[in-house]
Each structure stands twice: as C-alpha cells, then as structure tokens.
C-alpha cells in the first residue's frame, strides 16, 4: 500500500460523489478487486509512438493552430511529470484540452451560448523533455455553466491526460487556477477527499516563467501513482 | 516540499475533439495478418448506453505495434478496437496470465478511471489458470471479463454499475 493511500482523506475521489450528479448511475459500486499486476499493467506505450500515431491535435502552442490569433489572455503553462518516487518521467505523452476564453468548448455537444473562436480549438499533445518537463502556450480558459445543480459553474480548468511509463500510472485530471472563487462551489474539485491533494490541482502563478510584454505563466507539477515492472533484488516487483 | 500523488478528475463530456483520433482504435490495420476486432457497448447502472465514454486498451506482447488502442463510445455506447491477440505472459512471480488486454474506462461521471481486463472465450485452458480470473470465485462475475467469440470478432459489454457490473480492479 502506497503512502498516499494512508493519507487522511484520500487522494483520489470516490466513484460515487452525490454532489456530482452524473456519478449516480456511472459509479461502480462493488468493491474493486485487488489484483496481482501482470506485465500489461506494469508496462505502457512509448510516448513517441503515441505522438507519432496521432494525426491531429498535436503541438504545444494552442495559439498558433489557425490563421489568426485566438482572443483571450495568452498564458504559459509548465511543470514536471514525476513518478511516485518523485523521479522525472522523460518522453511521456501529455494531452491537454480546454474551453476557450469565453468558456466554450470546440465540441458539438457544448451548447453554452458563448461564442466559439475560429482561431482556437483548445487541444494539444506533446512529450516531456529529458528532465520530465513540459511547457505549452494557450489562452486562459473561461468558466462555464453546467446543469449539475441550479446556477452551477465550472471553475476555469485545463484537462490533462498523462501516460507515464506504465498502464498503472495512467492519469486523467484537471488543472485549476489560483484564487478562483468557483473552486469552493465545484463538486468535481471538492470530490477529492484530502484538502492537500485538492490544492495540488491548483496551479501556481509563476513570475519566473512569465514572458515579459507577452504572457503570464502558471506552474503545474504532476506526480503519478502506480509503478513500473522493474525487478527488485529478490526478483520481486519493486513497490513504489 | 514533496507533493503527494496528483488526484484524478473526470475526463468530462467534452474530450471528443481532443483525445480520439481516426487511427486510435487501430492498434494494427484492419485486415492485417492476425488482426482481431474486440468490440462491445458501455452501459450505466440503469442499463442505458454511455455515449460519451472513452475506452483505452494496452497489451504488452505484440512486437512492432504501439500496443495502445483508444476508442470513444458512440450513441449506442459502442466501442471497437482492432489489434493482434496478445500471448500469455508471466508476471514477476512466474505466474502465467492468460491472453488479455488491460483496459481503462473514462467518462463523464467517472471521477477516476475504471480499470479492468478483457480476456478471450477461446482461451479456456489459459483462462482457468489465470491468477486474476482465479481470484474471482463467482462464475457470473468472472464472465464479465471474458469476450465471447461471435461471428469472427470478440464481443464484451462493460457495465459500470448494476446487476451485471463488470469486475473492476483496485489500481
């Protein structure tokens, strides 16, 4: 059992979280089966092979995917991807997607009556560098209403999908922005039991990475759970 | 200060323009030597199809492929992956795992992924000695992990909840 599972309150949300209505019929309710990881859970696809296989939504500058510049506040988002032992994970695929500055997704089922931006799709995919670092340029997403409860609004967020080196490390999460008053009301954010774990999804304003006269910067580090299939000294799997 | 593990959040309803890509479901090309099709539907606890889910598969064994498949679900909850059938693989303790795909399920309303495996109905002997299947005493529960060979392709529905709830793993 890893240290964070023992942490008060828990890191991951439970499947069933009554305040987030869509969990009611989609949350698995039976106790999960604790399995012996096999080679499939302890290995994973190469980031380079995944990126090479994609035909669309690739790149780390979401403001230069169309003829013109998107509207909104240009920002730099950067950070590191680490494993459970806080070692950097190089060459791993990071996928990001988000709403535009007006709070509208470039998605057919998003019916929020805010304008689409013909110069902004809001999707990117890139690899971490040798030190596990990533950096991308985008537009600060807007908050948007949803129908979870009366007058419900999602805080501004960017979705992150991260692979790591093994299937067991796979993570999809959301990055938020510091000082957002909507966080206190958001059932998705508040589904995370541990207050410290919850706060780890709030990016940090980072003046050291700001580009003067051009864009502000936010830092968001990602620490994956799971483990990889290395052999320990007695031929057992290493636990991380 | 060392940060703890980063928590999971739902994939949400609006990933279709960002995560799937046309080649995503094709670990190998349709019609490639040895290619198999694994398909099914994703259902919620009311037995309704989940039209905004994302199924990912990974397999360790086939050399020369990326091993990873991704299929979003359609209006009918349907997904499909074209790949090579994996071989049996030994874990670190030497136990042989029957051919299977490791599977992640993401969807709006799932605050963290649901993890399972897809096994194959025509691998009875290997399935009988598989350590994961063997840890599920109930026949009906075990059957939720085994794709049935029907008309040349493998079929397995995934039930997030309800009387036919798929066996999911603690990872």
pLDDT of residue A238 exceeding 90, the answer is no
Residues A3-35: tens digit of each pLDDT: 444 445 799 999 999 999 999 999 999 999 999
Mutate to test the interface with B, among A40, A92, A103, A159 (most CBs of B within 10 A): A40
Phi/psi of residue A96, each to 5°? Answer: -130, 150
Residues A214-227: tens digit of each pLDDT: 999 999 999 999 88
CA dihedral B19, B25, B29, B33 (to 10 degrees): 150
Q: Which residue has the tokens 């990912």?
A: B56
**Residue A122 forms part of a structural domain:** yes
Does B127 contact chain A (CB < 8 Å)? no
Phi/psi of residue B45, each to 5°? Answer: -70, -15
Architecture per CATH, domain B35-159, reads as Sandwich (2.60)
Are A47 and A163 in contact by the 8 Å Cβ rule? The answer is yes
Query: Closest approach of chain A CAs to the CA of B160, in angstroms?
Result: 5
| Catalytic hit among A154, A165, A198, A227 | A154
**Residue A233 forms part of a structural domain:** no
Could you tell me the CA-to-CA distances from B147 to A12, A63, A127, B156 in Å, in that order? 30, 44, 34, 5
DSSP labels, chain B:
----PPPP----S--TTTS--TTTTBSS-TTSTTEEEEEEEEE-TTS-B-TTEEEEEE-S--TTS--EEEEE--TTSEEEEEEEPPPPEE-TTSPEEPSEEEEEEEETT-SS-EEEEEEETT-HHHHHT-HHHHT---HHHHHTTEEEEETTEEE--EESSSTTPPP-B--
- The residue of chain B nearest to residue A26, with distances taken between CA atoms, is B44
| Catalytic hit among A159, A170, A209, A219 | A159
Q: Which pLDDT band holds residue B1 (cuts at 50, 70, 90)?
A: very low
Nearest to B7 among A96, A106, A201 (CB): A201
Give the span between the Cα atoms of A38 and A104, in whole angstroms: 41
Q: Which domain holds residue A219?
A: 3-223
Domain limits of chain B?
A: 35-159
Active site residue A218: no
Nearest to A50 among B3, B66, B92 (CB): B66
**Residue A66 forms part of a structural domain:** yes
Burial (Cβ within 10 Å: 0-12, 13-18, ≥19) of residue A205: middle
Does B91 contact chain A (CB < 8 Å)? yes
> To the nearest whole number, what is the mean pLDDT of chain B?
94
Pairing of strands A157-162, A171-176: antiparallel
Mutate to test the interface with B, among A1, A16, A20, A25 (most CBs of B within 10 A): A25
**Residue A237 forms part of a structural domain:** no
Could you tell me the CA-to-CA distances from B163 to A24, A118, B122, B167 in Å, in that order? 15, 46, 25, 11
| Counted domains in chain A | 1
Burial (Cβ within 10 Å: 0-12, 13-18, ≥19) of residue A33: middle
Does B59 contact chain A (CB < 8 Å)? yes
Domain at A42, CATH number: 2.60.130.10
Active site residue A134: no
**Residue A235 forms part of a structural domain:** no
Which residue has better confidence, B78 or B4?
A: B78
Active site residue A135: no
Residues A109-147: tens digit of each pLDDT: 888 999 999 999 999 999 999 999 999 999 999 999 999
| Catalytic hit among A105, A134, A176, A218 | A105
Out of A88-102, A130-144, B53-67, least confident range? B53-67
* SS3 assignment, position A156: coil
């Amino acid at each position: 059992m890893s240290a964070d599972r023992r942490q008060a309150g828990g890191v991951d949300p439970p499947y069933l979280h009554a305040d987030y209505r869509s969990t009611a019929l989609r949350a698995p309710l039976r106790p999960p089966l604790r399995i012996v990881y096999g080679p499939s859970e302890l290995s994973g696809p190469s980031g380079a092979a995944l990126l090479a296989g994609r035909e669309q939504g690739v790149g780390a500058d979401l403001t230069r995917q169309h003829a013109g510049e998107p509207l909104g506040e240009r920002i730099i988002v950067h950070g590191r991807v680490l494993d459970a032992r806080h070692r950097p994970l190089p060459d791993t695929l990071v996928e990001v997607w988000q709403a535009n500055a007006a709070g509208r997704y470039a998605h057919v089922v998003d019916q929020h009556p805010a304008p689409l931006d013909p110069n902004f799709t809001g999707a990117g995919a890139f690899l971490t560098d040798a030190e596990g670092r990533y950096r991308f340029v985008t537009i600060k997403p807007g908050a948007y209403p949803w129908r979870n409860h009366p007058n419900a609004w999602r805080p501004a967020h960017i979705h992150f999908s991260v692979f790591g080196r093994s299937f067991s490390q796979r993570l999809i999460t959301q990055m938020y922005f510091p000082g957002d008053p909507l966080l206190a009301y958001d059932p998705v954010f508040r589904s995370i039991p541990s207050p410290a774990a919850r706060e780890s999804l709030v990016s940090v304003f980072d003046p050291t990475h700001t580009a003067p006269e051009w864009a502000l910067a936010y830092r968001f580090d990602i620490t994956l759970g799971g483990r990889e299939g290395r052999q320990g000294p007695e031929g057992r799997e290493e636990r991380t | 200060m060392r940060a703890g593990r980063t928590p999971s959040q739902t994939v949400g309803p609006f990933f279709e323009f960002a995560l799937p890509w046309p080649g995503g479901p094709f670990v190998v090309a349709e019609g490639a030597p040895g290619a198999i099709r694994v398909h099914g539907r994703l259902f919620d606890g009311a037995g309704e199809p989940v039209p905004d889910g994302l199924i990912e598969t990974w397999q360790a064994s086939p050399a020369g492929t990326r091993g990873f498949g991704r299929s979003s679900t359609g209006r009918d909850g349907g997904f499909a992956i074209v790949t090579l059938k994996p071989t049996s693989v030994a874990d670190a303790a030497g136990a042989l795992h029957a051919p299977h795909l490791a599977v992640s399920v993401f969807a709006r309303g799932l605050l963290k992924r649901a993890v399972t495996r897809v096994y194959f109905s025509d691998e009875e002997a290997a399935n009988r000695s598989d350590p994961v299947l063997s840890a599920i005493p109930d026949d009906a529960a075990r059957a939720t992990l085994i794709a049935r060979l029907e008309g040349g392709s493998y079929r397995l529905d995934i039930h997030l909840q309800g009387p036919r709830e798929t066996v999911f793993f603690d990872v």
